Amino acid sequence: MLFDERKIGIIVVTLFLLFTVPVFVSAQDEVVDLRFGQPPVSQSDRSRTLQSPVKVQGTGGPCQHGLYLLTLYGDREDIYQEENQALIDNPLINQSWRYCSVFSTAAENSVIMGRNWDNENVGSIIVSLCHPPNGYSSISFCRAIDLGIPLHMDLEQLKLSEIGNKLLLAPFYATDGVNEHGVAVAVAGVRQTTHRPKSDKQTVFVTFLIRKILDQTRNIEEAVDLVENFIPFQLDKNTLSAHFIVADSSGRSVILEYDQDQWRKTYGDKPWQVLTTKPIYSVPDEKLRESCWRYRIISEALEKKRGNVDLKNTMGILRDVAQKGTTWSVAYALRTKELYFSVYQSWDVIYHLTMP
């Protein structure tokens, strides 16, 4: 689904920041506070979810540049498992329209994770609020196209139709997000590897693993322990072209790469950590800077500030490494559980959400 290195670039950065909201706002910035929908409690969980989409932006009949908020109610583990099995049975290598890109960052007295999504084939952007009955609340991003919703469809018009049921899968296809404990996770593309199944580990699609991290972990140690139970896949059940970064509200971070049939963990050894589309494990920083311009630009920017950047600086770094297809840029504040983001490279309008 998510990653084609020929067409996209992916960045993940973890850095430690002194962060105050007023510094983020300039004369050119418009900060727009958003609220998730709250349908009547009397309805079923499914019905409440399908009644919840809030259209933030989108123009014209085909809904260009769509952005929606979605509130998920109830336990959806059964349909997540069904979707996971469907992706095993019908490999995404046969569905060439699916791609992905990411960038992440964390902070000092505050902790921030930021990311760029660098492919324009999204359909619409869906920002989901998820309250699993047996897990932790979270806010996450996904693409409408990954749910099987056609490009440029108005989700408000679809929510009462049969295809509207696909909205229930939005949390399954999360590409990045933050939970109520301040754990943030993002996925990035990388060279393809192959792996073998193991009887004691479940094979899970890359975004399903992100969902599990958001639902079930409170810090990076719990995330590292959790992933040991799973083998991630992507284009088909035996291949992977993705790696992950996880940061928590303490400011610690770890990059997770599944290679040679085992998890490789690279913990941050500076006040920041950077991940792009190049493998990280056991690769010297100098080589990474030489091989990826985005890695170099981000690393140099953080070194210059000694990691002491505010949210405006964070969005500036994201803008500096944006590409033609960059669709959303988000900065997660892990201690306050809020996020600031721009969409479709409209850098002068910044949306703001807080975990309810």
3-class state of residue 333 by DSSP = strand
pLDDT band at 59 (very low <50, low <70, confident <90, very high): low
Query: With 50 as the cut, is the pLDDT of residue 213 above it?
Result: yes
DSSP state for residue 149 in the 8-state scheme? P
Domain boundaries 15-354, corresponding CATH code: 3.60.60.10
Look up tokens 């004691």; give the residue. 200
pLDDT at 99: 34
- Please give the Cα distance from 168 to 50 (Å, whole number): 8
Identify whether the C-beta of residue 30 lies closer than 8 Å to the C-beta of residue 129: no
Look at residue 222 in the predicted model and tell me its pLDDT.
99
CA-CA distance, 262 to 121, in Å (whole number)?
Answer: 32
pLDDT on residue 104:
53
187 membership: H or E segment, kind and range: strand 184-194
pLDDT at 215: 98
pTM for the whole thing? 0.88
More confident residue, 47 or 223: 223
Q: What is the largest CA-CA distance in the chain?
A: 58
Q: Phi first, then psi: what are they for 222, rounded to 5°?
A: -65, -35
Q: What is the pLDDT of residue 92?
A: 62
**In the predicted structure, residue 347 carries a pLDDT above the cut 50:** yes
Helix axes of 311-320 and 293-304: crossing angle, nearest 10 degrees: 150
The CA distance from 106 to 242, in Å, is 20
Whole-number mean pLDDT of the chain? 84
Quote the CA–CA distance of 355 and 133 in Å, as a whole number: 16
Per-residue pLDDT of 101-126, as tens digits, reads: 455 565 557 788 889 988 777 778 99
pLDDT of residue 20 exceeding 60 = no
The pLDDT of residue 176:
96
- Checking if the pLDDT of 295 tops 60, the result is yes
324, pLDDT greater than 90: no
- What is the per-residue DSSP string for 263-275? EEEEE--SSEEEE
What is the reported pLDDT for 96?
35
pLDDT tens track for 136-174: 999 999 999 889 887 777 887 777 677 788 999 999 999
In this predicted structure, the answer to whether residue 273 has a pLDDT above a threshold of 60 is yes
User: How do residues 94-105 score in pLDDT, each as one tens digit?
Assistant: 443 333 345 556
pLDDT score at 162: 75
Name the β-bridge partners of 247. Answer: 184, 253
**Cβ distance 208 to 182 under 8 Å?**
no
